[in-house]
Amino acid sequence: MFHKVLIANRGAVAARIVRALRSLGVRSAVAYSDADAHAPYLEQADEAHAVGPAPAAQSYLNAEALLRVLRASGADALHPGYGFLSENADFAARVERAGVTFIGPSPQWIDLMGHKTRARDFAARHGLPVNLGSGVLNGDAGEILAAAATIGYPVLIKPAAGGGGIGMVPARDANEIGAAVERSRSVAARGFGSTEVYLEKLLEKPRHIEFQILGDRRGKVRHLFERDCSVQRRHQKVIEEAGAPAVNRERVDGLAARVADMLTTAGYDNIGTVEMLMGQDGSFQFLEMNTRLQVEHGVTEQVTGIDLAAAQIRVAAGESLDAVLPPVIGMQGHAIEARVYAEDPKRFFPSPGKLTTFRPPAARGIRVETGYAEGCEVTPHYDPLLAKVIASAGDRRAAIDRLTEALREFEVHAVKTNIPALLQVLTCEQFRAGDVHTGLLQEILCH
């Protein structure tokens, strides 16, 4: 096992990894920016190291600064959390060249799955269903029109190096395609440093269902069932649950097994999530693979009893999957998570400010993951996620009721939050019936 792990991240995920390391008896060192100098999890860690000014480009996205902190800390492993440099293959390779273990998949996996068209090709070669799409497009208008016509409108233009829904632009006919491609290219250049885009068939009102997997360095991969992440705003998940409601259990379990078998054959070697879209006809299409711990991993932990953060660290340290996971994993009950953001609940613009009141709910069956405490400043420099509130119960309806009550009890003053929008979803009968899709939140708010 590792002696000390540097956490190259902030907020709720930094606090979560500190807790996992403590459970394993491993020392934790946290990198922090000037804006996070008073974050509560710094006191919970064994060490804290300043990494740079508040802007992410000068701190959590600054590979040189993080590598300097890594050397100064004497850590023998680095955990990237999620976001920032967690899926940057070059950074992972530099960490390993420094003689330090990168807690995540090997750099070649991060590189492969980080490029969306190559990831699609990989999935198709290994027998997963893949949505109609194109390769990377050049700037030729004729090629773009021909590709869209072959796929059939409506289409979705997507950055090849992207993720998180950033830069995805729909086009419903040939009159829209040119401007949509340019818009996607522009966003991709700013967000990912690449103008490469490609086309996919746009599915109407799909569900977003993803499969949690874990692999070791010895050639074995297992799945830990699925999550439904269909409730989204601007392609960003806001409510996630395990397991998925109103699905064909046999079909979903079979697909999870296929995903695990595919990645075992290919030699995947750490944590990951295979994301898929489910059409209204019940068919599945590969969307992408995230080569990191997911924001929503907690709902899987609640229904399986597996500490995913600790498991990821253990397999990175060289333990076998047989030692880390029980022989049989099942799902017990239901878990649902709401992401509470410091943002306007109607327009979803960030709402920075000082948390004069910050009192998360504390009740039976409620788990709260946060990197904030009362008196902390929510800055405009980072994602405005305040907390993840997870409710667990024996069945889905009870879990929803428990989460609804918890959100009503969550006291936050001096910044706006999206709690009113979350409550609109949770109390909507369509959602409660399990009739969900990626456009549901917008439908509810516009009703």
Please give the domain boundaries of the chain with CATH numbers for all domains: 4-103 (3.40.50.20), 132-201 (3.30.1490.20), 207-446 (3.30.470.20)
Residue 324, token pair as written in the block:
């880390």
Q: pLDDT exceeding 70 applies to what percent of the chain?
A: 100
Q: Provide CB contacts within 8 A for 444, sequence distance 6+.
A: 424, 425, 428, 430, 431
Q: What letter does residue 331 receive in the DSSP assignment?
A: -
Q: Kindly report the pTM of this predicted structure.
A: 0.95
* Confidence label for 445 from pLDDT (cuts 50, 70 and 90): confident
At 139 the pLDDT is: 73
Task: Say what the pLDDT of residue 141 is.
Answer: 79
> Which residue out of 16, 292, 396, 402 is catalytically annotated?
292
pLDDT at 303: 98
Indicate whether 85 pLDDT > 90. Answer: yes
Mean pLDDT, rounded, of the chain: 95
Residue 268 burial (CB < 10 Å; 0-12/13-18/19+)?
buried
Q: Is the pLDDT of residue 419 over 80?
A: yes
Q: Which residues contact 431 (CB under 8 A, 6 or more apart)?
A: 231, 400, 425, 440, 444
Using an 8 Å Cβ cutoff, are 279 and 203 in contact? yes
- 79 alpha-carbon distance from chain centroid: 15
Assess whether 16 carries a catalytic annotation.
no
The pLDDT of residue 266 is: 95
Longest dimension (CA), the chain: 60
| Residue 266, CA distances (Å) to 108, 184, 433 in order | 12, 32, 38
Which amino acid makes up residue 445?
Answer: L
pLDDT digits (tens, 9 = 90+) for 137-186: 877 778 888 888 999 999 999 988 877 778 899 999 988 998 889 999 88
At residue 444, does pLDDT exceed 80?
yes
- pLDDT of res. 70: 98
Query: What are the strands, taking DSSP E only, across 281-402?
Result: 284-290, 334-341, 353-354, 357-359, 366-370, 377-378, 385-393
Task: Give yes or no for residue 337 having a pLDDT over 90.
Answer: yes
Distance CA 279, CA 120 (A): 18
Q: What is the CA radius of gyration of the chain?
A: 21
Cα atoms found within 13 Å of the Cα of residue 439, Cβ hemisphere only: 10
Res 382 pLDDT > 80: yes
pLDDT at 234: 84
> How would you class 236 by CB atoms within 10 Å of its CB: exposed for 0-12, middle for 13-18, buried for 19 or more?
middle
In angstroms, the Cα distances linking 209 to 22, 275, 425 are 32, 6, 18
pLDDT at residue 341 tops 90: yes
Centroid of chain to Cα 82: 7
Q: Report the pLDDT value the prediction gives residue 371, as an integer from 0 to 100.
A: 98
CB < 8 Å & 24+ apart, contacts of 358-363: 358/386, 358/411, 358/412, 358/413, 359/410, 359/411, 359/412, 360/387, 360/389, 360/410, 361/389, 361/405, 361/406, 361/407, 361/409, 361/410, 363/402, 363/405, 363/406, 363/409
Tally of residues, the chain: 447
Return the residue matching tokens 């100064």.
72
pLDDT category of residue 37 using cuts at 50, 70 and 90: very high
pLDDT for 191: 77
Instruction: Say how far apart CA 178 and CA 396 lie, in whole Å.
Output: 44
The per-residue pLDDT for 226 is: 98
CB 414 within 8 A of CB 352: no
Beta-carbon contacts of residue 191 (< 8 Å; ≥ 6 apart): 159, 162, 166, 167
Dist CA 112 CA 11 (whole Å): 28
Q: Which helix (H) or strand (E) holds 1?
A: none
Q: How confident is the model at residue 336 (pLDDT cuts 50, 70, 90)?
A: very high
Ramachandran angles phi, psi of 405, nearest 5°: -65, -40
The mean pLDDT value for 53-61 works out to 97
pLDDT confidence tier of residue 379, bands split at 50, 70 and 90: very high
